[in-house]
Structure 1
């Protein structure tokens, strides 16, 4: 909150802070970061490239992150919270191109509405993907159109919420007979965890380092 001696934080201020954070050095992450006992596959493995969009909507009440709730009918990760995105196809120029294509398909976000501000380090998933996140800025109103059969819901989270390291906690569940630890950053009824929360925690750490 602004005081008499400080100016209120504007959308432009928050965008500038985000842009600064994206050029701050950071290391790649994996789904194995918090569980050293669950070793990743041996070196030399070939990971499948994938791109996800971290879309930030510049709303009247401040920047908000757009996320999806995957369809409960999907075979892989049903009902989980995720970024728009998917595996890179041969027709995609790169992972960012794949992320923009998938965002248009999954939530009806035209790529012409997205300004790429920068990228977050790649993240290796337990399913063998190298997930490359691109952070995109969207000005003006946007009415999402969830892709039938793929996306059950599209919702937004305040940028301030997911960029506060204190909002994150580490939890665990059984995976292949072992405890697997992971980050969570819940918001209302939405349980944001796993790779999505791990990428967001990396962003939160970079934002804090730039303050």
Structure 2
């Protein structure tokens, strides 16, 4: 199942996408969830959602902008080997989810908290693991050499921003999970299988850019 390309699908992303992203983030809209493509899913009664923040870091250089992502360690108990944004659950000492995203990015990929230029937030995303995640979109203008956190991150890599902003690159796939057929977004790039919550949040950003 494929999405129809938007009128902007074939347009290149400028070397500095700041204004494009600011405009996209200013659009009103509802949040997303892991259940968007599964309307028949029955949610647990009385579930308690825990706040989390993830950083959506976009590298801006003289060349085309790129999105930084991580490949989680295969040794982790939860979501081993999956592609993800730097981020995690909000601690009591974090003043807000932006601070959470910056703290986690420093821990996971060695990104100094004063380097990102925060552009804004995407609407929250509810995960099947009962987190309500706020994606924090940021620009990195200076050179950055990631330092993956051993035990948490196997790899830090980048993909062209234009790739994930193109709605035509998203595919809906499915697998059986806990006895039911579950559908989810994917946006593969080379050897990297970007799917699930990460792909859903990126699909939301792509939709806003295309508006």
SS in 1 for 2:65: strand
- The within-5 A match list for 1:175-190 is 175-190=177-192
Mapped pair 1:89 → 2:91: yes
Q: Are the counterparts in 1 of residues 72 and 155 from structure 2 also a CA contact under 8 Å?
A: yes
Change (3 A) 1:10 1:92: same
Shift of 1:9: 6.5
SS in 1 for 2:155: strand
Q: Take 1:113 and 1:40, find their aligned partners in 2: how far apart are those partners?
A: 39
Shift of 1:159: 0.7
TM-score (ref. length: structure 2): 0.92
1:156-175 per-residue CA deviation (whole Å, 9 max, x = no partner) reads: 01110000000001000111
Q: Are the counterparts in 1 of residues 50 and 132 from structure 2 also a CA contact under 8 Å?
A: yes
- Greater share of helix: 1
With 55-64 and 65-74 compared, the bigger mean Cα shift is at 55-64
1:33 to 36, 49, 66: 36
Alignment root-mean-square deviation, CA: 1.2
SS in 1 for 2:194: coil
Q: Are the counterparts in 1 of residues 13 and 65 from structure 2 also a CA contact under 8 Å?
A: no
Q: Take 2:117 and 2:123, find their aligned partners in 1: how far apart are those partners?
A: 18
- The within-5 A match list for 1:69-148 is 69-148=71-150
Q: Take 2:19 and 2:162, find their aligned partners in 1: how far apart are those partners?
A: 14
Residue number in structure 2 paired with 1:49: 51
**Where does structure 1 differ by over 4 angstroms across 4 or more consecutive aligned residues?**
none
SS in 2 for 1:156: strand
Aligned residues: 200
2:25 to 22, 25, 42: 22
Q: Take 2:76 and 2:191, find their aligned partners in 1: how far apart are those partners?
A: 20
1:15-55 per-residue CA deviation (whole Å, 9 max, x = no partner) reads: 2111100101121111000011222234x532011110000
Tell me: higher relative CO, structure 1 or 2? Use CA pairs within 8 A at least 6 residues apart.
2
Change (3 A) 1:177 1:137: same
TM-score (ref. length: structure 1): 0.92
Q: Which runs of 5+ in 2 are unaligned?
A: 1-11
1:67-126 per-residue CA deviation (whole Å, 9 max, x = no partner) reads: 000000000000000000000001100111100000000000001101110100000000
SS in 1 for 2:100: helix
Q: Are the counterparts in 2 of residues 32 and 40 from structure 1 also a CA contact under 8 Å?
A: no
